Every structure is written in C-alpha cells, then in structure tokens.
Amino acid sequence: MPDVLLALRSLLRQPRRTAIALFAIGFGVVALLLAGGFMEWIFWAMRESTIQSQLGHVQVVRPGYLEQGAADPYRYFMAEDDPQRTYLEKFDHSREVVPRINFNGLISHGDATVSFIGQGVDPARETVFSRDLVILEGTALAVGDGQGLLLGEGLAANLGAKPGDTVVLLATTPSGGINAVEGVVRGLFFTSNKEFDDAALRLPLNLAQRLLKTQGVHRWLLLLDDTAYTDTAVAKIKMHFAAEGAELEVVPWYRLADFYNKTVALFGRQLSLVAGIIGLIIVLSISNTMIMSVMERTREIGTLLALGNRRRQVLGLYVSEGLWLGIIGGLAGVVIGVALAQLISAVGIPMPPPPGMKRGYNGEIMLTWSLVAGTWLLAVASTVLASLYPAWKASRLVIVDALRHGR
Amino acid sequence: MAIHNAAVLHGMVVMNVVRVENLHKEYQLGQQQVQALRNISLTVRAGEFLAIAGPSGSGKSTLLNIIGCIDTPSSGRLWIDDEDVSGRSPDQLADLRARSIGFIFQTFNLLPVLSAAENVEYPLRHFKELDKAARRARVTHYLEVVGLASFAHHRPNQLSGGQRQRVAIARALATQPRMVLADEPTANLDHKTGEGILALMKEINRGAGTTFIFSTHDPKVIALADRVVEISDGELLV
C-alpha cells in the first residue's frame, strides 16, 4: 500500500471532518473563481471596447509618428492610396481598415474661438469603430458628406454651437501658413472620456485633408476578427513590410491602451490580495484540521515510527493527506465554481452606469484556463503549506510518549 | 563479521541478539527526577523466549523500549546483533527497527484503515528485495501461522482483541526480524485469549527459532517463559 493511498484512506476514515475541510477549500476556490472571473470579464469588456471604438487591433503609422507626431504632424503622412493599404485589407482575419488623421487647430463660431483636437475619419468605414461614440443630438456623419462635423459635447457647449450651425476651422499647413475651411455641425457626441469630449471634433477625411492641404493620412487602423490574433498579425505585417521595404511602423493595441493597462494592473493587484486572503483562510482552517488529526492519531504515529518509518516518511504521509485535500477540494471548487459562473452569467450581474455613461449594463463571469488552473494550484499549494507544520509535528513526536498517548 | 564467521565455523550459534551494559535511564516528570533504570546489564541470546517481569512502574517497559531502539538510555551501551547502536541517528535506528526488530504492543496498534493482510504487509513496503509476489507470499504465510488466513480482508475493527493481537504478531514476524519485542502483549486480553497468544508466540519461537522478549506482570504468563528476568525499581534482581 503506497503512502499516498494510506493517506487517502486515513482521510476517508474521518468523513465528517474531511468533508468540512473540503468545503473550506472548495468555498475558497469558488469565491476566487467568481471574483477573478468577474474581473476577467470587466477586463475583456474594456479591452474589446477600447479596441473596437478607439484603437483597432493594429495601427500602421510612419516610424516616429507616435512619439513626435503631435508636435509635427505633417512629417508623418502616408499616402491615402498607399499600396500597403490593400495588403492590410486583404490580410487574413482582417475585418476593417480605417484611415485616420489627427491634428490640432482652432474652431470659431460667432465670437468664440477655441482650440480643438481633430479626428479625420472615413464615414463609410467608421460604423464598426463608433461603438463607444454616442450621438447626443443631430445625426452621424453621412457617407459623401464633404462638410459635416461632429462636435464633442463639451466643445459644442464652449462654442455655443448646435447642429445646423456653420463653423470655421483654422489650422497650420505643411508649408507653415494658415488655412481655414467652413464646416456644418451635423451632430454632438459624447464618449466615456469627458476630457476628450471637451476638445474633440470629428470630420470627414477629405475635409481634414483640404484644411491641412495634404492627400495623406496618419494611421491605418486594422480591426481583426479576434483579439487573440493580434500578435501573430503584427509579426506577419512587420515581415511583409520589411520584405517590401515599406518604411512603416506596426503597433499593437496594447502599446497604446494606457488606461486599460493601468486598470488591469490595479485590479490585478486587488485580485492578488483576494487570492492571498483566501489562501490564508485555507491555510488556517486546514492546519487546524490537520493538527486535530495529528493529536487524535498520536499513538498511530508512534506505531508508524516504531515500525521503522523514518521521520521524513511520516512527514510525507501527512503532507500527502494535505495534498489529497487540496486536489479534491480544489477540483470540487472548480466544478462548482464553473457551474455557478455559467449560471450567474446567464442571469447577469446588474452594474451601475460607468463614469460618463447614462445606462448600466449586465456584467458576467468569464473564466479563463489560466484563472481556473491558477486558482486550483493556489488551493493545492495552500493546503500543502497548511499541512507542513502538523506533518512536521507528527514526524518529531517522541516515540515512547506517542505510544503511551491516551492510555 | 568476525563473530559471524566464528559462529559458522564452530557450527553453532553463539550470537547475542541483545547485550546491554550499565544501562541507566533518568527522566524528568514534572519537578521530579525519575530514576527509571539503574545499572542494567543483560544479554539475550538468539532463540531465547525471555520474560521481563516486574510490577507496573518497575521500569520493564522502559528497558524493553531501549532494547527496541525507540527510547535512548541516559548512559550505558546497547548492542543489537553484536553491533553497538549507541549514538546512532534517529534515521539509522528507524532502519534498524524496520529490519531487525518486530513489535507487539499491549494495545495491538494496527493501522485501522488497513485490512489484516495490508497491516501484515505494511512493514515490508520498503523492502526493495521483495517483489510483489514475494511480499504476498509472506503475508499469506504469516497469516496462516497465526491462524487468520480467512480474515485477510477484515479491517481491525471487524476483529476481536485476540485476533488483532494475532495480526500484530504476523506483522511483527513479516520482516523476519532478529527479535520480537512484546510489551505486555496479553494485558488487554482476557485470560484465555492471552494464554493462546502466549502459546502461539512460544510455538513460533520453537518452530522458527525467533527470539521473543516480552514484558509482563502476570504470573501465569511468566510461568510460560523459558527465562525470566525480574526487575524492580529500575534494577534487575539476580
């Protein structure tokens, strides 16, 4: 009879106590799975929203644009009909390729003149990218509209502009002169980013190009059908550009998603804290159970030692009991946790509106393999850890005292 | 080794299974210093059926524990099979016990989660030289020796006290040790069963030549011993 099986039988001999220990472990696993799965879902929702409404999965720009483009946008234009655009459009997993121009300028309406951040977009291709942008008043940009503008809510308030008003946009041209165009406000929008809404406006690509006296664009935003494919796509596109001698930089979304990255870091830390607390609860409850078990079985331990077991073997026997508890309790917790996660996701967790939003939404629990495996490992590791001290105590018993115990 | 060879050369066994010299054992009990054993010297030869007799508290269990290497003397020396085991590490002593000493306890001390056969097999599990079949054969053999072949799959709590002690005897014999130590083996059994246990031990001693050393305070058990060493207040009475 191998020691691990002996350990299992010893556990089964105390069914009630073992059940309580398993319950404690399983409960911890379920709690951590649900908490972690909920955060995972929030990360996922945020990631996809950032990608689909702002960043795309992959951006293609001139080298150096992301670092210096804000100061000198004219140096980094790419031709709108660059042959590489066709490559991006035909790229596998490609859902949409969207051009962007980003620039700053001044906007005047009546007596008011304020600075703005401009986004030149292609209205025909923008639909998949505008999930995060809510039209508050008026309409979205229509395809073929050469004069329309969308103003951020705050910017429009500063200007006192409303849909239907004509405004003037001023910007410096590549040659250093100043150019102006007229535009008509078609609608007002807001996003989840209030600072953006206070300064931003959207205009059709050709209007922006007329203002800046250019034929180019700053970025191609490539939207894929699967976020997991991002790194492969970046690598493939880089290889293609290198082979073609195209001087373009390929940037994955996560290099640009500062807010997302910091949120993940923050919540990730919180989750580690929760994991730590759950681990501690498991350690405390299991070590208590194991110490009781060692005390009750003192004479049995004395017998094991007298029969010629080395101390290390007795230690191993008790650690095996902890290992079994961790493995079984962890598995039970995983099974229950996964089932509960499905149930809760089906019902939905009502969430309050996030900052800047008017409506709440239904949260879900999203379990990833790494979360499930990590949680199970945490349960096993903390149970083994909890059994170390009782096991050590058992292995250090004085044989004759242990044999006399309880007589 | 020299002694082994000499023994074989002369065609007879002259080995001492156990030899103790000037053994003292003191321990602290609360504030009191207890003198459990005083100046004990004793030799046990292979094949003996020896009783250590004395009232409770006389030190007979302590002496048996020291001989069994589960307790250490305060001073004095101990030879097992003519090898000085004083000063060995706990692991070395554990290995010595696993190979050379069989134990029978007053309270039987079978592992409750193992069947009779598994209990008998338990001390053999680290015997690398025995394959599975050889171990099974030994288990079967010793269960037959103690008359419990048909109870092989019973758990200890399904056996009577006498049956449990028989399983314990089979377990002690399974490793084919140099000696079997039994601390009050009949104290938890009724008289008739106890006598049966003693008779079985004696029969094994006669048949296989196994050395038995047991402690007891029961005059009827003492009467069955080939040699009796009496102990009182930690001293041997000669």
CATH no. for residue B134?
A: 3.40.50.300
Burial of A361-391, coded b for 16+ CB within 10 Å and e otherwise, reads eebbbbbeeebbeebbebbbbbbbbbbbebb
Closest to B103 in 3D by CA, of B64, B139, B149, B136: B64
* Structure confidence at residue B5 (pLDDT): 38
Distance, in Å, from the CA atom of A333 to the CA atom of A13, rounded to the nearest integer, reads: 22
Given CB atoms, is A1 within the 8 Å cutoff of chain B? yes
Answer whether residue B91 is part of any domain.
yes
* The pLDDT of residue B155: 96
Q: Is residue B109 part of a domain?
A: yes
Residue B8: predicted pLDDT: 41
Which of B95, B96, B114 has its CB closest to that of A1? B114
Phi, psi of B164 (to 5 degrees): -60, -45
Beta-carbon count within 10 A of A33 CB:
25
Chain B residues whose beta carbon lies within 8 Å of the beta carbon of residue A304: 111
The token pair at B3 is: 């002694």
Among residues A44, A48, A76, the alpha carbon closest in space to that of A60 is found at: A76
Can you tell me the ipTM of this complex?
Answer: 0.92
Q: Each residue's pLDDT tens digit in chain A (407 positions)?
A: 678 889 999 999 999 999 999 999 999 999 999 999 999 999 998 898 888 878 899 999 999 898 888 778 888 888 887 888 888 888 888 888 999 999 999 999 988 999 999 999 988 888 777 777 888 889 888 888 888 999 999 999 999 999 999 999 999 888 888 999 999 999 998 887 778 889 999 999 999 999 998 888 999 999 999 999 999 999 999 999 999 888 899 999 999 999 899 999 999 999 999 999 999 999 999 999 999 999 999 999 999 999 999 999 999 999 999 999 999 999 999 999 999 999 999 999 998 877 666 667 888 999 999 999 999 999 999 999 999 999 999 999 999 999 998 77
Q: How far apart are CA A122 and CA A140, in angstroms?
A: 12
Buried b (16+ CB within 10 A) or exposed e, A8-30: bebbeebeeebeebbebbbbbbb
Domain housing B185 = 47-72+86-237
Nearest Cα to Cα of residue B108 among B24, B4, B182 = B182
Q: Which two tokens stand for residue A184?
A: 């008509």
Interface test with B, best of A11, A305, A307, A401 (most B CBs within 10 A): A307
Sign of CA dihedral B118, B123, B124, B128: positive
Q: What is the pLDDT of residue A61?
A: 93
Between CA A74 and CA A76 the distance in angstroms is 5
pLDDT of residue A67: 87
With beta carbons under 8 A apart, name residues in chain A contacting B156: none
Q: How far apart are CA A258 and CA A54, in angstroms?
A: 12
Q: Flag if A308 and B97 touch (Cβ within 8 Å).
A: yes
pLDDT tens per residue, range B6-59: 344 344 455 799 999 999 999 888 888 889 999 999 999 999 999 999 998 899
Q: Do A303 and B70 touch (CB under 8 A)?
A: no
Is B169 within a domain? yes
Whether residue B172 is contained in a domain is answered as yes
From residue A129, alpha-carbon distances to A124, A186, A250, A270, A376 in Å are: 11, 19, 19, 31, 39
Domain ranges of chain A: 3-50+260-404, 63-247
Q: Is residue B193 included in any domain, yes or no?
A: yes
- Whether B134 is covered by a domain: the verdict is yes
List the pLDDT tens digit at each of the 238 positions of chain B. 444 433 443 444 557 999 999 999 998 888 888 899 999 999 999 999 999 999 988 999 999 999 999 999 999 999 999 899 988 999 999 999 999 999 999 999 999 999 999 999 999 988 999 999 999 999 999 999 999 999 999 999 999 999 999 999 999 999 999 999 999 999 899 989 999 999 999 999 999 999 999 999 888 889 989 999 999 999 998 7
Nearest-angstrom CA–CA distance, A152 and A376:
48
Write the CB contacts of B43 (distance below 8 Å, at least 6 apart in sequence). Answer: B16, B18, B19, B20
pLDDT at position A403, please? 93
The verdict on residue B1 lying in a domain is no
The percentage of chain B sitting over the pLDDT mark of 90, rounded to a whole number, equals 79
Find residue B228's DSSP bridge partners.
B51
pLDDT of residue A358: 61
Using an 8 Å CB-CB cutoff, list chain B residues near A320: none
Backbone angles phi, psi at B47, to 5 degrees: 90, 0
Contact B90 A299 (CB under 8 A): no
Q: What integer pLDDT is reported at residue A357 of this predicted model?
A: 63
Has residue B2 been placed in a domain?
Answer: no
Q: Domain count for chain B, please give it.
A: 1
Percent of the residues in chain B that have a pLDDT greater than 70, as a whole number: 94
